[in-house]
A and B are shown apart, each in its own frame.
Chain A
Amino acid sequence: MAEPQRARPKPTPETQHFWDGTKAGELRLQRCDACAHVYFPPRPFCPSCASRKVSIFKASGKGFLYSYVINHRPAAPGFTPPYAIAVVQLAEGPRMMSNIIDCPQTPEALELDMKLEVAFEVLDDKITLPVFRPAKG
């Protein structure tokens, strides 16, 4: 029997632009044209003022480590424990869940508030995930 696979996102009409973005090497967020609120996850209206006039833009990909766990058990299919599940505070305001790469998965190495930058992990020909690594410099 095949090993259970890592969970793969299935885009909806409201989120397709985000997943098109990661595939193209861009982290895309949305900004309200009426009140300038930047938000995530994607939706075609502003959750702050309800305006339907919103724009998609390429985020800087910069942020910092807001919080995390290092998961030991049970491990999700496709993951080798221990691995960190992180929440990244993006420079533009929203937070998102992600993984931290190029960094030991230890409390010593994973310092809260450490600067991070986005990277992209290709899962398959449809889905590329946004992940983060310690920022250089």
Chain B
Amino acid sequence: MRRNQVAVVGAAETTELGVVPNMSQLQLHADAALNAIADAGLKLSDIDGFATAVETPQQVCHYLGIKPTWVDGTSVGGCSFMLHVRHAAAAIEAGLCKTVLITHAESGKSMIGKAPRSIPADSLQGQFEAPFGVYGPPSMFPIPVLRFMKTYGITHEQLASVAVVQREWAAKNPRAMMKDPITVADVLSSRMIAYPFRLLQCCLVTDGGGALILTSADRAKDFPRKPVYIMGTGESVETPMVSQMETFNSSRAFKTAGPLAFREAGIAHGDVNHLMIYDAFAHLPLFGLGDLGFMPHEETGRFIADGNTRPGGKLPLNTNGGGLSYMHSGMYGMYALQESVRQMRGIAPAQVPNAKISVCHGVGGMFAASGTIVFTNER
């Protein structure tokens, strides 16, 4: 795909984030969509392309009253929205539609109008993982961690520092759920969830949503907000079974999606001013830094523990506080995208001065899928 031909011209989260017991999941979609429409200065009737995950496009389009000529229901977990951005950019470039709305919402905490996740007993996961006591992401996502730590000499303290640094970012963000400072000792004495991970190394569980509006870069200059251009994109999937990953020393999906996006954008790692790496659990930024090629995996733990990703550090990472401290409704990718867009617009609560290129990297499932978007505010 050609770089900088499509731009984000509308972006918004739900009016409230966190615990929103007065809205169903479907209404959270609508709340985010209406906020993004207003942000872009559009009417719902201007939308001719639509993408969402978990809920079907027909469900959300009918609820909103949208009559699309292009839809995408790609649902590969929390990075689905990165894939939607990639697919929407291609569709706009191909002339299939002009203005795409992407929505995410999840009543992850209040569970209103949300179908419970279940694993069918005759699926491969139901036969070859569920019988051994996996029970939700905290029991599955950290399974590779001990091998990763042994291979690369990563310490428990370094993995704890991920949560500490992200809390520093969250403290600057009025909408973050958790803002009180924490120390490595706090993390390592918090309640054990699934060894080696403790409570503060696991994401929050919240309600909320977000929406993006994309159109061609040529049209983007006529919109009220500063356009944020899609510079590069990548996507891949590996396996829905964490036990069947090719290796626990890296993610094949990350190693495919990330470099694709960098190549398409035509950038080097030193060009990146701002980075989001979907952090459902504390090890993901380490996998991400290594698999995206910022540094060898061996160096990732020390890099974060030494403060390079904290406010004022040389590589600002997860500047909204991340899934560990900002919010995590279950499919966090949309919130990472929102923060990248805010940083590129120059309006983030913890704004990185003069940031021109933002890389936003997502995961779906337990390393099952991945999507990477490179944004820029210069064409």
Alpha-carbon distance between A2 and B278 when the two chains are bound, in angstroms = 39
Question: CA separation between A67 and B134, bound complex, in Å?
Answer: 14
A66 touches B248 (CB 8 A): yes
The CA of A12 and the CA of B127, in the complex, are separated in Å by: 9
Per-position contact with B for A68-97: 1 when CB-CB < 8 Å, else 0? 111111111111001101110000000111
Cα A45 to Cα B131 in complex, Å, equals 25
Interface residue from B121, B128, B142, B150 paired with A96 (Cβ < 8 Å)? B128
Contact of B193 with A73 in the complex, beta carbons under 8 Å: yes
Given A7-B126, A95-B243, does the pair A79, B133 have CB atoms closer than 8 Å? yes
For A104, what are the chain B residues with a Cβ–Cβ distance below 8 Å?
none
Question: CB-CB < 8 A to B138: which residues of A?
Answer: 71, 73-74
Q: Are A83 and B248 also in contact (CB < 8 A) when A67-B143, A69-B142, A107-B195 are?
A: no
In contact, A112 and B147 (Cβ under 8 angstroms): yes
B133 touches A76 (CB 8 A): yes
Q: Is the CB of A7 within 8 A of B131?
A: yes
Closest CB in chain B relative to A3 CB, distance in Å: 14
Encode B221-238 as 1/0 by CB contact (under 8 A) with A.
000000000000000000
Provide the bound-state CA to CA distance between A70 and B248, in Å: 17
CB pair B121–A8 under 8 Å, yes or no, is yes
Known A-B contacts A41-B128, A67-B145, A67-B147; the reply to A10 vs B122 at CB < 8 A is: yes
- Assess the B121–A97 pair: CB atoms within 8 A: no
Q: Which chain B residues in 124-170 approach chain A with CB under 8 Å?
A: 124, 126-136, 138-140, 142-147, 150
Chain B CB within 8 A of A137 CB: no
Q: Collect the chain A residues with CB atoms within 8 Å of residue B131's CB.
A: 6-9, 123, 127, 129
A9 and B128 contact, Cβ closer than 8 Å, known pairs A67-B248, A95-B243: yes
B1 within 8 A of A: no
**A15 adjacent to chain B (CB < 8 Å):** yes
Query: What separation, in Å, do the CA atoms of A127 and B193 have in the docked complex?
Result: 29
Given the complex of chains A and B, what is the CA–CA distance between A40 and B191 in angstroms?
Answer: 35
* Beta-carbon nearest neighbor of A129 in chain B: B131
Q: Are B244 and A71 in contact (CB under 8 A)?
A: no
Q: Knowing A11-B122, A97-B134, A97-B243, say if A70 contacts B195 (CB, 8 Å).
A: yes
A9: which of B127, B193, B241 is its contact (CB, 8 Å)? B127
Task: Assess the B145–A76 pair: CB atoms within 8 A.
Answer: no
A66-B147 in contact (CB<8A): yes
Residue in chain B with minimal CB distance to A67: B147
Chain A hits for B192, CB < 8 A: 72-73, 82
Take A9-B128, A41-B128 as given contacts and tell me if A83 and B133 are in contact as well, using a CB distance cutoff of 8 Å: yes
Convert A38-75 into 0s and 1s, putting 1 for each residue whose CB lies closer than 8 angstroms to a CB of B. Answer: 00110000000000000000000000001111111111
**B197 at the A interface (CB under 8 A):** yes
**Are B243 and A74 interface neighbours, CB within 8 A?**
no
Q: How many Å from the CB of A133 to the closest CB on chain B?
A: 14
Residues of B within 8 A of A10 (CB): 120-122, 126-127
Verify if B347 is at the interface (C-beta below 8 Å from A).
Answer: no
**A residues less than 8 Å from B129 (CB atoms):** 97
Question: What is the CA–CA distance of A77 and B195 in the complex, to the nearest angstrom?
Answer: 19
Please pick, from B132, B145, B191, the residue contacting A85 in the complex, using a CB distance under 8 A.
B132
Report the minimum CB–CB distance from A80 to chain B (whole Å).
Answer: 10
Instruction: Please measure, in the bound complex, the distance between the C-alpha atom of A96 and the C-alpha atom of B145, giving whole angstroms.
Output: 16
B196 beta carbon closer than 8 Å to chain A: yes
Bound CA–CA A123/B130 (angstroms): 14
CB proximity of A125 to chain B, nearest CB, Å: 16
In the complex, which residues of chain B have a beta carbon less than 8 angstroms from the beta carbon of A77? 135
- B residues whose Cβ falls under 8 Å from a Cβ of A: 119-122, 124, 126-136, 138-140, 142-147, 150, 191-197, 241-244, 248
Would you give 11 A-B contacts (Cβ < 8 Å), ordered by A? A6-B133, A7-B126, A11-B127, A67-B144, A67-B146, A68-B146, A75-B135, A87-B242, A96-B243, A97-B243, A123-B131
Rank and list the top 7 A-B pairs by shortest CB-CB distance, nearest first.
A76-B135, A9-B127, A67-B147, A7-B130, A70-B195, A97-B243, A10-B121
